Structure 1
């Protein structure tokens, strides 16, 4: 991907909104990222209010997510005339974090009921990187088939499944590792803390005291 990257981030109605906050913080701090389009669904706002103890209105949710940099623009998911609805709009990648199973299913079948799903559809048709951080468990057959379909369409399904070999001690560490892996997928690696060298990782060595 080029420098001066433009990233679309969407938050939908599934648990794990705290990870979205950490991803947004990393993108805002990264000089390689010049613009972030942020979309939060109505159910995403409900989950943010639940997790952060805030109100559900867009302004309160944006503040709770820490999306305060001038490079972040909040878009209304109900507005299907928004800029990300068109392939002519410059965008390098899109991440839906967290991604509800219903959102993934509609994207898998080319359905777009709101601007989030339309932006994902555009990302796929323009052959740009789309990462869907599914937050659902257990999975039934329709979920699995939708994951196959959306992968065949070109998306990356990245379930919000924690790793354990780094011996995480806090929720924040689980979220940090998830976000770092997402940044790697976007070509925006920040740290080698979670990089496996064939024996261990810096994070594991820190937690276990092993060399």
Structure 2
């Protein structure tokens, strides 16, 4: 069976992370199931010269945010897990509490209950104690909190290289070897 990964894009700044994830997953032959929050649709228009249709075209299947009966809302739908890139604090809090209001947070909740890999590229700073407690709770439940932090040892020459490195590292958490990721070679 072809590898399948759910990609959630929430409304936090940094929608390029979700876009790049979809591009890299396509290059690696991974079937993608995309769910985009309403806030992310607004963010897309502010941050990128990309239409919503162009974003959707990057995925193999797109699920409406309100469709809580979608395949990805069930544990019987087999996936490698889910990447939320970027992940807003609101989405993170819903996932942490299990009180989900959209397909994005329901799918993440299902991934956790099925003990599959959930990687959250949380985009918020500074963080208050409530945010940190939500992150701790999610980590204790098995999620991986992977904020997109630039790796300057790679000596990036462009923003594109920074984004690709951050997303590539997150995708490697699913066992996907991403050739574009530069590795620390020591001193």
Q: TM-score, normalised by structure 1?
A: 0.84
SS at match of 1:197: coil
Q: TM-score, normalised by structure 2?
A: 0.94
CA distance in 2, matches of 1:14, 1:127: 26
Q: Displaced runs of 4+ in structure 1, greater than 4 A?
A: none
CA distance in 2, matches of 1:122, 1:194: 32
Larger radius of gyration: 1
CA distance in 1, matches of 2:75, 2:53: 26
1:61 aligned residue (43, 52, 65): 52
Q: Find the counterpart in structure 2 of residue 202 from structure 1.
A: none
SS at match of 2:32: strand
Q: Find the counterpart in structure 1 of residue 168 from structure 2.
A: 180
1:106-132 Cα offsets, whole Å, 9 max, x none, are 111111111011000000000000000
1:161–1:81: structure 2 CA closer, same or farther, 3 Å change rule? same
1:193–1:30: structure 2 CA closer, same or farther, 3 Å change rule? closer
Work out whether 1:72 is the aligned partner of 2:60.
Answer: yes
Q: Find the counterpart in structure 1 of residue 14 from structure 2.
A: 16
CA distance in 2, matches of 1:139, 1:74: 31
Q: Find the counterpart in structure 2 of residue 143 from structure 1.
A: 131
Tell me, which stretches of 5 or more residues in structure 2 are unaligned? none
1:20-79 Cα offsets, whole Å, 9 max, x none, are 111101111213x2x21000000010101111245xxxxx3140x3x435x610100111
Tell me, which stretches of 5 or more residues in structure 1 are unaligned? 55-59, 200-211
